[in-house]
Structure 1
Amino acid sequence: MTDPTTTRRRLLEGAGVGGGTLLAGCTDQLNLGSGDGSGADAAQTDGDGANVDGVGAIATVDQEALQRERLRIREELQNGNISREEAQEQATDLQEEFISDAVSALAETAKATDGVDVADEYATLGAVVLTGEAAPIIGLLDSAAVRALVSRSDVEEQAETATPTESA
């Protein structure tokens, strides 16, 4: 099983420059999208340039709470209350739970935002794919639930790499 933190970290690393460039509107300069410099497959518009075909949103995980829980597990291990295997299993379950909760919070925030729809959720990556109007999607960056916006293709590629035999 692929470690969700490693997969999520790779997604953020790989999408950092591309996602930032996409948000800055510089895809034409980098020939991203259709390959012809138009950026045609990066976003579909409804004629006025307002709708986005999809963008990945990375959920914000409460790292402080996660660290507190990890320390609790470590203390249980050191006190001899649990075995190393139990500690590893609890730590993995805990991490998956925190990421899943963060994705749920992000999805709820997005669904509550007018003009934004959640196309897909990727709990193992800590990401969702959003569609809808560009301005409200970008406005979600002000939400504590959103850590970053990245390209949809980066999220989907990571999902395929992380779970090649499962559907997202």
Structure 2
Amino acid sequence: MGRPESRIGGPEEMETLLGRLSGQIARGRLPGVPLLLIGIRTRGVPIAERLSGLLEGVPVGAVDITLYRDDLGLQGHWPVLKGTEVPFDVDDAEIVLVDDVLYTGRTVRAAMNAVCDLGRPARVRLAVLVDRGGRELPIRADYAGTTVDVGPGERIEVRLRPIDPDDEVVRVGPASS
């Protein structure tokens, strides 16, 4: 049987969350330091692009964390690389890493390592659309669109155009028997 889903929000709620995030980023930025957004592939990239529009064209890059994952050797298959594209210098800039859901913190740790391999930013912040709790590492979001309590066996999925047919945030429950 399938895993039951319940919708947390659709396109209007997505716009509200993005507006909330862009406001938090604008208020929290360092004065006189270039602000740059780096989306974590895959869904962090379209979120970063939408935030860029709300923040009046802040430059956007994309980071692929595949080779930085701490479970790379455990996967049993060849990794598929999607590519890092950071068309700007990260040295002395304020970097906002952007992702869809913050859970264990392992993805963010890998992304920070990837960014620091590119240079030495003045500051790195984290913006996530949804913070679902359940950290395994001491990492927290500086900016979060929303926080959702998630039960055992549940997960949060963010679906975004153009990757997915529509913009929505859903709670996916444990498998039914």
TM-score when normalising by structure 1: 0.26
When you count strand as a share of all residues, which structure comes out higher?
2
Asked which structure has the greater CA Rg, the reply is 1
When you count helix as a share of all residues, which structure comes out higher?
1
